[in-house]
Structure 1
Amino acid sequence: MGVVVTRVHDLLGEHKLIAVTVDGRRMIPAVFLDEGSRVNRFVPGVIALLSDGGYDDREILDWLFTPDESLPGRPVDGLHGHLAREVMRRAQAAGL
């Protein structure tokens, strides 16, 4: 990501990112980042919307990575293109 590890810990602590544990190691899904290895600007917002709606981290990850034929594709992929606002709208509706 090009930032010091403490900044990554801050982003995780502020719940602007979610880490996945694989073989005992915490990892951030690459799809949460833009081309420049910066956090995609919509990721913290969609995490906040779903979290405020009662979703825990596992449920947020499931929601983001589960394909949705009506988008089409996974919501997390939609955050990188013209579907980002639609994904945000759906995240807000899912939390109601």
Structure 2
Amino acid sequence: MTSLADADLSELVEDWMDWGEAARRLGVTEAKVRTMIKDHELAGAVPAPGASPGVPAAFVDDEGLVVKGLPGLLTVLHDGGYDDRECIAWLFTDADLPGRPIDALRENRGSEVKRRAQAMGV
């Protein structure tokens, strides 16, 4: 199995937003998006060689807010030693939840996702 660090994010994540699009959808500035990534409220990565850095579109809900539970989950994963690329790969990999952790978060089933993330800590 491919490690999270080696995962092809361009294949795992269907839809990416550049900083400008993320800022527009969230109603903030691009600088704020970068701060949100630094503070683990969002995760960002370069999805493929030569691509611009971006944020998975699934991280923002239909109301223009960060998906409920995502910042706390990202903090748990970062505390466990994962970087943003690995966090994104984990969130978009089909796990035994059932389904992908990002889908569980978007469906307000974040407790189980967070519990599993805590159990994975390195």
TM-score, normalised to structure 2, is 0.70
2:42 match: 17
Q: Which of 112, 117, 122 is the equivalent residue of 1:86?
A: 112
- Structure 1: where are the runs of 5+ without partners? none
Residues 71 and 83 in structure 1, CA contact (< 8 A), matched pair in contact too = no
Q: How many residues align?
A: 95
1:77 match: 103
What per-residue deviation string (whole Å, max 9, x for no partner) do you get for residues 37-56 of structure 1? 21112111111101101112
- Structure 2: where are the runs of 5+ without partners? 1-24
Counting only pairs closer than 5 Å after superposition, residues 58-77 of structure 1 correspond to structure 2 as 58-68=85-95, 70-77=96-103
Does 2:95 match 1:95?
no
Q: CA deviation at 1:6?
A: 1.7
Q: CA deviation at 1:82?
A: 3.9
In structure 1, distance between residues paired with 2:101 and 2:116 = 9
The code of the aligned residue for 1:6 comes to A
Does 2:56 match 1:29?
yes
Identity level (%): 42
Residues 31 and 76 in structure 1, CA contact (< 8 A), matched pair in contact too = yes
The code of the aligned residue for 1:8 comes to V
